[in-house]
């Protein structure tokens, strides 16, 4: 972990006072409830909490004996790589281009960020409007182009759909932060490089990109976390994890079980597993990728 700053302030009490507010909120409204939620993983309870039996690791054993669960590890990995990869590259491309534009910049930037604000409930509906096989606006167009779009029964179509929907949402988010980062790059540096004869591509590679790596790293971590945890609603609205279980990523099953089926023990066990995976992934990112970030 790179916390190394050569210069620091000294105080025995100030840092504690500074972190106190956030820590208080986090402990009260996250750790305490989260601990209880995760504790459910070793119990078998009924919906209303009237009876709880301690079952040890049974919930976990059952999970790993379920081959569809193991299958969803793979599905989740593919999904996350696609979502993070596409989301970051497309957003970066758009941000770099938008940064160059002087005229109409406000319109472009607003139009790229505002879609993030559509109510999630409506987003799901819009995707259905667009992609319902043979009835959706986009699927109809695809049909004219010769693609018989049917994500209800075709797994590749289904995966493409959820990746597209998830990436769509993230483009706005990533674009915003990339843009902010690009606009923080001192113009003087770029001007100096231009005077030295560096073209726009060279300037991007040698100046802009290195300087936005802190933001890029932030976005990488956040995108992966997003792909793992926040995509339930999108999948529920479009494919419901189908066809079969082909788009049922890990978090989808957590929601299905915990939320729709009231299986608190099972869903808590899955959450533990999911958390462990993402924490491991994040630690790896901090350990190996952060080395290449320029601070």
Partner 1 sequence: MKLRNTLTSMALALTALSAQAQTEIQMWHSMSGALGEWVNGLANSYNQSQKDYKVVPVFKGNYDESMTAAMAAFRGGNAPHVLQVFEVGTATMMYSKGAIVPVAKVMKDAGYKFDPSVYIPAVAGYYTAPNGDIQSLPFNSSTPVFWYNKDAFKAAGLDPESPPKTWTELTLAASKLKASGHKCPFTTAWQTWVHLETFSAWHDVEFATQRNGFKGLNARLNVTTPLHVRHIENLANMSANGLFVYKGRAGAAGATFESGECAMYTNSSAAYAGIKRNAKFAFGVSTLPYYPDVKGAPQNTIIGGASLWVMAGKNSNEYKGVAGFFDHLSKTDVQAKSHQDTGYLPITTAAYQATEKSGFYKQNPGTDVSVTQMVRKTTDRSQGIRLGNFVQIRTIMDEELEQVWSGKKSPKDGLEAIKKRGDELLVRFENANR
Partner 2 sequence: MIERRPLATFLSHLIVLAGVLIVAFPVVLALVATTQTSEQIVQNFPMSMVPGDNLWASFHQALFGGQTAKGNTLPAVAPMLWVSLVSAVIISFGKIAISLLSAFAIVYFRFPFRNLIFWMIFITLMLPVEVRILPTYAVVSSLGMLDTYAGLTLPLIASATATFLFRQFFLTVPDELVEAARMDGAGPMRFFLDILLPLSRTSIAALFVIQFIYGWNQYLWPLLVTTTEDMYPIVMGIRRLMAGGDASTEWNVVMATAILAMLPPALVVILMQKWFVKGLVDTEK
Contacts (CB under 8 A) with partner 2, residues 113-172: 113-123, 125-127, 129-130, 134-137, 139-140, 168, 171-172
200-234 in b/e burial notation, b at 16+ Cβ within 10 A? eeebbeebbbebbbebbbebbbbbbebbbbebbbb
Segment 112 to 141, residues that bind partner 1, using CB under 8 A = 128, 132-135
Site string for partner 2, 227-266 (x = CB under 8 A): --xx-x------------------x--xx--xx----x--
Residue 52 pairs in a beta bridge with 45
- Which residues from 50-89 bind partner 1, rule CB under 8 A? 50-51, 53, 62
44 binds partner 1 (CB under 8 A): yes
What whole-number distance in Å separates Cα of residue 265 and Cα of residue 7? 48
- Residue 243 interacts with partner 1 (CB under 8 A): yes or no: yes
To the nearest whole angstrom, how small is the minimum distance from the Cβ of residue 126 to partner 2?
4
Q: How far is the CB of 232 from partner 2 (least distance, A)?
A: 7
Q: Which stretch binds partner 2 (CB under 8 A): 50-58, 73-81, 145-153, 217-225?
A: 217-225
CB under 8 A: which stretch of 83-91, 164-172, 259-267, 269-277 binds partner 1? 259-267
Is 48 among the residues that bind partner 1 (CB under 8 A)? yes
Which residue of 61, 260, 287, 292 would you call a contact of partner 1, by CB under 8 A?
260
* 33 binding partner 1? (CB under 8 A): no
Residues 214 and 71: their CA atoms lie apart, in Å, by 34
Segment contacting partner 2 by CB under 8 A, of 68-76, 149-157, 224-232, 234-242: 224-232
3-state secondary structure of 163: helix
Binders of partner 1 in range 202-241 (CB under 8 A): 240-241
Do 179 and 98 touch, CB atoms closer than 8 A?
yes
Could you say which residues in the range 18-37 bind partner 2, by CB under 8 A? 18-19, 21-23, 25-26, 28-34, 36-37
Instruction: Give the list of residues 6+ apart from residue 64 with CB closer than 8 angstroms, or none.
Output: 70
Does residue 215 have a cis peptide bond before it, meaning omega lies within 30 degrees of 0?
A: no
Cβ-contact 292, 213 below 8 angstroms: yes
Compute the distance between CA of residue 287 and CA of residue 295 in angstroms, rounded to an integer: 15
Provide DSSP, 45-65: E-TTSS-EEE-TTHHHHHHHH
Residue 245 interacts with partner 1 (CB under 8 A)? yes
Contact between residue 221 and residue 290 where contact means Cβ atoms under 8 Å apart? no
**Min. distance of Cβ 243 from partner 1 in angstroms?**
4
Degrees to nearest 5, angle at CA 66 with 64 and 71: 90
Query: Can you tell me which of 96, 108, 116, 154 binds partner 1, judged by CB under 8 A?
Result: 154
Binding site for partner 1 (CB under 8 A): 44, 46-51, 53, 62, 128, 132-135, 152-155, 240-245, 256-257, 259-263
């Amino acid at each position: 972990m790179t916390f190394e700053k050569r210069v620091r302030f000294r105080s025995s009490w100030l840092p504690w006072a500074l972190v106190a507010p956030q820590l208080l909120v986090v402990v009260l409204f996250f750790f305490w409830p989260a601990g209880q939620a995760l504790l459910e993983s070793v119990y078998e309870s009924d919906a209303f909490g009237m009876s709880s039996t301690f079952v040890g690791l049974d919930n976990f054993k059952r999970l790993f004996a379920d081959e569809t669960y193991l299958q969803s590890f793979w599905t989740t990995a593919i999904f996350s790589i696609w979502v993070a990869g596409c989301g970051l590259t497309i957003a970066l491309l758009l941000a770099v281009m938008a940064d160059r534009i002087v005229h109409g910049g406000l319109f472009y930037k607003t139009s790229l960020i505002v879609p993030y604000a559509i109510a999630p409930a409506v987003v799901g509906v819009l995707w259905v409007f667009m992609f319902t096989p043979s009835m959706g606006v986009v699927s109809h167009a695809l049909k004219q182009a010769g693609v018989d779009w049917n994500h209800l029964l075709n797994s590749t179509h289904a995966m493409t759909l959820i990746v597209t929907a998830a990436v769509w949402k993230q483009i706005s988010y990533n674009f915003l932060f990339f843009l902010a980062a690009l606009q923080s790059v001192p113009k003087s540096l770029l001007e100096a490089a231009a005077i030295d004869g560096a073209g726009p591509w060279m300037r991007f590679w040698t100046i802009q990109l290195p300087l936005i790596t802190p933001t890029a790293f932030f976005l990488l971590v956040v995108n992966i976390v997003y792909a793992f945890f926040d995509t339930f609603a999108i999948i529920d609205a479009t494919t419901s994890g189908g066809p079969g279980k082909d788009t049922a990523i890990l978090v989808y099953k957590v929601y299905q079980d915990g939320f729709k089926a009231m299986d608190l023990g099972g869903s808590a066990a899955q959450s533990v597993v999911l958390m462990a995976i993402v924490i491991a992934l994040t630690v790896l990112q901090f350990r190996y990728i952060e080395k290449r970030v320029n601070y």
